[in-house]
Amino acid sequence: MNASTEPEIIVDIRNHIAHLTLNRPKALNAISHDMIDAMSSWLGQWETDHNIKAIIVRGAGEKSFCAGGDVRALYESGKRGDGSELEFFLREYSLNYKIHRYLVNTGKPCIAWIDGIVMGGGMGIAQGAPIRIVGTRTKMAMPETVIGLFPDVGGSYFLSRCPGATGLYLGLLGSTIKAADALYAGLATHHIATESAFEFDYALDSMVNWQLGAVPALQKIVHEFAGAPIESATLPPLQAAIDQHFAGKENVSAIIRSLETETVHSDWAASTIGLLGKRSPTMLEVTKRQIERAATMSLPDCFRMEMDLMTRTFEHGDVVEGIRALLIDKDHAPRWKPPSLAEVRTESIDPFFKSPWSAENHPLKNL
């Protein structure tokens, strides 16, 4: 329960569709331990409930679908050093995987209505849905490197499957994109204008052609409301440059050296170099290897890799320092270990990718 005594998850079932709302609007619907458990429980119940034919997930309020996880709680856990944060990620990744597999396992499609801020943990919920609807207000990002983390919640998988080196670019920088770029990158499937939300819901409530099957029936309505975003995509004109400077480079230092040679998009290159210079050098190199490795990995293996990485990342400590600098003390002067890319050695990155568990004992072995 939140401070206003309202539930953090609201469920409303109408016309065989379970409407699940993340209900922490003052916190931009940031996901909590209790919300993860509640979502997992509801999804589990609906697996065998013949009255439920589809699920739609959205965020309360007008600003956000879900802005991520409770990073302040992660900071406190990291400071204690008791490893309690790992239980949060274990449950979160299990929920993310359940959503990814829900249609295959149950025949019931999920729709993610992501009109608003969708970042971090919100992306973990949204990207597993086969229908991902962005809107006029969508602001999408995987901003983990900003706080000395890496793109998790399945980010390994879905970023590595973006066009060319786009996913690596977005993952390293943590850049925010809007609806048109989300569609281009494959991180959304449809755009529906914000002002059409009421009519879209009414159409869902009035739908009678379930005999077509849940997926075709829903897709028919989605296609009726879908249209092009107002803004133009910014990523396609940069695709060649992104591929030239980010793909196939030995390390992030090599990416920066390549960006320094850019002449056509020189302002973009300079801005990109500046942003990379603010991130944790160690976690930039971890993120680069993570996304590149994930391109040939299965979804379960990606989640297991991320669980391994999370364990090593909290042992390393840059994430605790990053949260301190950005959100606790707000001095925006993180003391990264080490402070420069030139000091990051391959042998210091290798341990991040060595699992602390055997395959038989891995906490996500059953995915």
Catalytic residue among 68, 69, 128, 148: 69
> Half-sphere exposure (CA, 13 Å, Cβ side) for 213?
7
Q: pLDDT tens, 250-276?
A: 999 999 999 999 999 999 999 999 999
Q: What is the CATH number of domain 9-353?
A: 3.90.226.10
Determine the pLDDT at residue 2: 44
Residue 140 CA to residue 177 CA, distance in Å, equals 5
Is 120 labeled as catalytic in the residue annotation?
no
CB 185, CB 138: distance < 8 Å: no
Determine the pLDDT at residue 85: 80
Is 167 labeled as catalytic in the residue annotation?
no
> Half-sphere exposure (CA, 13 Å, Cβ side) for 18?
22
One-letter amino acid for residue 167 of the chain: G
Task: State which H helix or E strand residue 156 sits in.
Answer: helix 155-159
Is 69 labeled as catalytic in the residue annotation?
yes
CB 18, CB 7: distance < 8 Å: no
CB 324, CB 334: distance < 8 Å: yes
Catalytic residue among 152, 285, 308, 318: 152
Measured CA to CA in angstroms, residue 224 lies from 179, 196, 206, 221, 322 at distances of 18, 11, 14, 5, 44
Catalytic residue among 121, 135, 155, 317: 121
What pTM, to 2 d.p., does this model score?
0.95
Is 260 labeled as catalytic in the residue annotation?
no
Catalytic residue among 144, 181, 306, 318: 144
Q: pLDDT tens, 106-131?
A: 999 999 999 999 999 999 999 999 99
Determine the pLDDT at residue 282: 98
Task: State which H helix or E strand residue 41 sits in.
Answer: helix 33-46
CB 323, CB 330: distance < 8 Å: no
Point out the residues of the chain with pLDDT beneath 70. Answer: 1-4
Measured CA to CA in angstroms, residue 190 lies from 132, 203, 208, 228, 263 at distances of 6, 16, 22, 8, 34
